[in-house]
Structure 1
Amino acid sequence: MTKLERAERLQIMLDGDELQAVENFRFENRMPSRAAAVRELLRRGLAAEGYMPADGSKSQDYGVIDRRTDGQDDHTE
């Protein structure tokens, strides 16, 4: 069996308007999936609050937390 890169699951409930906002963001930004769109929105929200730099545009870069090469979480405090 293959080990998942993202082994943690976060489940949220949205109303119709919230889901439509996520879908609009996803399609306007050509995101590959709802999950990628939600990760990008979380990443941007955290960046806006000063927790991390806001950069990256590849699908693989749509993570909530950037990982440094030494395996430590990289965020600004």
Structure 2
Amino acid sequence: MIAGLRHRPVTAYCEADRWKFDPRYTQGRCPICGWKPEGAPNAPRWLAIANRLDWEMLGLFLLADVLVLLGLIVAHAAGILPANR
């Protein structure tokens, strides 16, 4: 299992520019001329998953949760909420 999680170096070599690059961090293309090697991954797995999430909505829901929690804390401190007996 650990062996499957290890980073496998992926490099491509562009003949036109004589440049080695990692296509995962350049959207699968040569950063100089735009050449795309066959079968090259477009992005690392974590970046592909992160790009699928809608971070703005996640942030909005997190902000709403924090504001509700803060409101409950203030209401409890002000004595607005009934005390547990």
Give the greater-gyration-radius structure (CA): 2
TM-score normalised per structure 2 = 0.22
Structure in which a larger fraction of residues adopt helix: 2
TM-score normalised per structure 1 = 0.24
Question: Which of structures 1 and 2 has the larger relative contact order (alpha carbons within 8 angstroms, sep 6+)?
Answer: 1
